[in-house]
Structures are given as structure tokens and as C-alpha cells.
Copies of this chain bind each other. A is one copy, B any other.
Amino acid sequence: MAITLRLSDADFEQRFAAFLLTKREVSADVDAVVRAIIARVRAEGDAALIEYTQKFEQADLKGLGMAVSQDDIAKAYDAADPQTIEALKFARDRIRSHHERQRPKDDRYTDAAGVELGSRWTAIEAVGLYVPGGTASYPSSVLMSAVPAKVAGVERIVMAVPAPYGIINPLVLVAADLTGISEIYRVGGAQAVAALAYGTETIKPVAKIVGPGNAYVAAAKRQVFGTVGIDMIAGPSEVLVVADGSNDPDWIAADLLAQAEHDVSAQSILITDDPVFGAAVGQAVERQLQSLPRGETAAASWRDFGAVILVPQIGAALPLVDRIAAEHVELAIDEPEAFLARMRNAGAVFLGRHTPEAIGDYVGGSNHVLPTARSARFSSGLSVLDFIKRTSILKLGPEQLRALAPAAIALAKAEGLDAHGRSVAIRLNM
């Protein structure tokens, strides 16, 4: 049973602050192991990948081939349910339409002084998409990282996905193919990250690596950061539902459980102004848990990290919502737009009573890779912006240089950087 906090209680601030600091993940210290794996892949290339894959995934890359073939893709289509393939296409098209709106425009202009300035966006040349193996091998996540990369114009998209016992989820391969990824390797873990960052005989290096993974993958991404770019380090998923008493408790309970079923470290929070409704949702959660295939996982998540927060009126939820800064925020209230206008921190917001968060996971069109663990205070979900970079442009003629020179030379002098000043002055015979 989740905890209940009441804003009106004298010790609320203390308990809420402690709740915010709750660590949901034990961060395994795998840095040394990962460092050794990366060093070996750098030194030995494919041979190290083959050996690690045999050891960690019981898969023989010599027999299977490191690269997934067109024949493997064809077999994946055969193995996949046609209705699911259609659903993936539907999702892909919706995700593509939404992300096409995200590409920023280049800017080029001449200012009052006659100086030409600009910002130009270009795609990253090569990107690696890491996809986990086993039960967390989600085709929807392939779409969520591959589609923005494609829309951004990334020329080479490389997918790395481990094949434990030689097996890859066929839907993952179908999703890759549906987004136009043709370079796929059966490698996983820290060794895959090392191969993508530094390259091997078979795998050419990329410039950025994105995608979720286990503690080894996360540590490897941190370690190669700088050599390549990385996306955020994603933590366990979370939802915050703000709901008034006019909701069906069963709907809201279903939403809380949709989050809780991900992982025992997932978190589901309800904020409501109606204590009777809050209690009814709690009962509905317990009831629905009985018939849920992943009920054990969801029950552990709800018990250990779930919370019901009672506020005197919905408006009082606002500062709490901003402090929680959740990955997903559902606003199942009468005037969700007004609430949204006043809030600040969330990865994604789902407005109204007919927008369950799960729609955003699959077919809403927006991205489901979102900032977790309160990082929505300072970061954003995955988008086209993660696959492009900006170059500043500056262009002066002699007249503009003359106009800007005195200030530049004064500042260079003040900072003790005489050669800076000289590079300006020398062009003006100053």
C-alpha cells in the first residue's frame, strides 16, 4: 500500500521533502568492470566483442554473424503478428509527423552595425541506438529514437541490440526496418557502447550514442561521454496523476498501475483534493492488481514508491507538481489548460480525462523518452534537437571590424590576452 501525505498535516513539508529524496534505484558500482571492458574492446576490437558476447549473452557471434542480415529481417517479419506490424506503422507515422515540426530553422541576418550573424543546424553524421535485450526490448522505443534521428537527417544510424542465447525480439527488428535502419549488430552491454564509441574492424564508430540500458550500459555511456555525445541517463519511469473527485477511480487506478508494472523501481503518485476519491483509487489499485499479469512487479512498485497526496484544493497541487518534476503528469481535472499554464516542470503533460499516459508511450506522436528522477527541472525529452548541432556564423568586413575593434581590444587588454587584441588591430593598422 502506497503512503498517504496530507498537505494540511504539520509534518507535511518534512515528509514530502524526504519523499522527494527517496532513491528508487540502487546504483551498482560497475565502473571498474566497465572500464576494463571498454579498454579491451579498444585494444582487441571484434575479438573482444565475440568473447564478451559468448560470456555475457551465451551467443556465438561467429556462427550468427555480428551484423543482422536482410534475411534475418525477413524472418522477423514472418515471425511478427501482422496486426502488430500495422500498429507499429501507425505509431511510426504519427511520431514522424510530430517530430517533423521540431526541426529549428537556420537563422542568418545582418545587424544594424552591418555585421552578419547566423546559426546553422546540421545533422550529426552517425548515431548509435542502443536497444536493450530480453524483456525490456521494446519495439516502441526503437521508433522513439530512430524516427527523430531520421527526421533530423542523420545519414548513418547504427543499432546495437544484444541477442541473449542468439535471440532478438523480432518486433525490434521490424521496428528498425520500418524506420529505415539497415545497420544492426547483435552486441549489447558496455562492449556494445565501446564498439560504437571507438569502432572495431566490423563496426565503424559513431559520433553520438542514445538509448536506455542496464547499469553497465549507463556506466559505459558516462565513460565514453566526450569521445562521443550521449543522451540522458534514464532512470526508472514515473507518473504523477492530478485528479479531482469527478474521475472514475478505476480509470485513475489503471493509469497508476500502467506505470507501476514497468519495474519495481517505477513510481506512481496521485494528487487529489478529494480524500474519499483518493481512498477509492487505492482500493481500485488493489482490486486491479489481482488480475494483472505483471501484478507482482506493480504491487512492489506501488507499495514501495507509490503515494497519494491530499490537498485542500487542486490549485494547491501546483507547487508540489513543480517540485516533483515528474516524467509524466496527467491532469484529470476540469480545467487542465489553466493548470498547465501555471506549472513549469514536467517531461510530458497529458490533458483531460481521456488522455491516459499509455497513449503517449505508443501512438500519441510525442516522444516517450523523457527526463526522469526530477530531471525535468533542467532537461527535456528526446527530440530532433538531440540529433543535430548548431554552428555559429560571424562575418565582418573592414568597416564592421573598425566599428567593433575598440571594445574588443579593450576587453582583450583587460583580460591580459594581448595576442587577441593584436589579431584585431593588425588588420586595421592600429
Contacts and interface: CB of A to CB of B under 8 A. Distances in A.
A364 B411 contact: no
Nearest to A111: B97
B359 A410 contact: no
A427 B356 contact: yes
A393 B424 contact: no
**Nearest 10 A-B pairs (CB), nearest first?**
A229-B378, A348-B392, A351-B395, A380-B390, A87-B407, A87-B410, A254-B423, A366-B392, A358-B420, A356-B423
A314 interface: no
Interface string A224-243: 00101100010000000000
A30 to B, nearest CB: 15
Contact of A390 (B87, B383, B396): B383
Interface string A389-430: 111111111101100101110111111111111111011000
Contact of A87 (B111, B298, B351, B406): B406
A392 B258 contact: no
A418 B294 contact: yes
10 contacts: A97-B111, A140-B415, A254-B419, A258-B417, A261-B418, A345-B391, A361-B420, A371-B389, A376-B391, A380-B389
* Most chain B beta-carbon contacts within 10 A, residue among A120, A353, A394, A396: A394
Contact of A354 (B83, B292, B346, B396): B396
A373 interface: yes
B226 A421 contact: no
A310 to B, nearest CB: 23
A44 interface: no
Contacts of A102: 107, 119
B363 A404 contact: yes
Contact of A411 (B139, B367, B376, B393): B139
A153 to B, nearest CB: 11
A123 B329 CA distance: 18
Given A117-B364, A354-B397, A392-B366, A208 B378 contact: yes
B257 A422 contact: yes
A420 B394 CA distance: 50
A380 B427 CA distance: 29
Nearest to A233: B226
B394 A427 contact: no
A350 interface: yes
A155 to B, nearest CB: 10
A424 B330 CA distance: 14
Given A258-B419, A348-B394, A401 B354 contact: yes
Contacts of A214: none
A65 to B, nearest CB: 26
Given A229-B379, A233-B226, A362-B412, A355 B395 contact: yes
A367 B414 CA distance: 19
A32 to B, nearest CB: 12
A75 B125 CA distance: 51
Given A124-B378, A378-B208, A411-B139, A359 B294 contact: no
Contacts of A251: 423, 426-427
Contacts of A104: 104
A271 to B, nearest CB: 17
Nearest to A373: B226
B419 A292 contact: yes
A245 interface: no
Contacts of A346: 391
B394 A390 contact: no
Given A102-B119, A288-B422, A351-B394, 4 more contacts: A258-B423, A358-B420, A362-B407, A376-B391
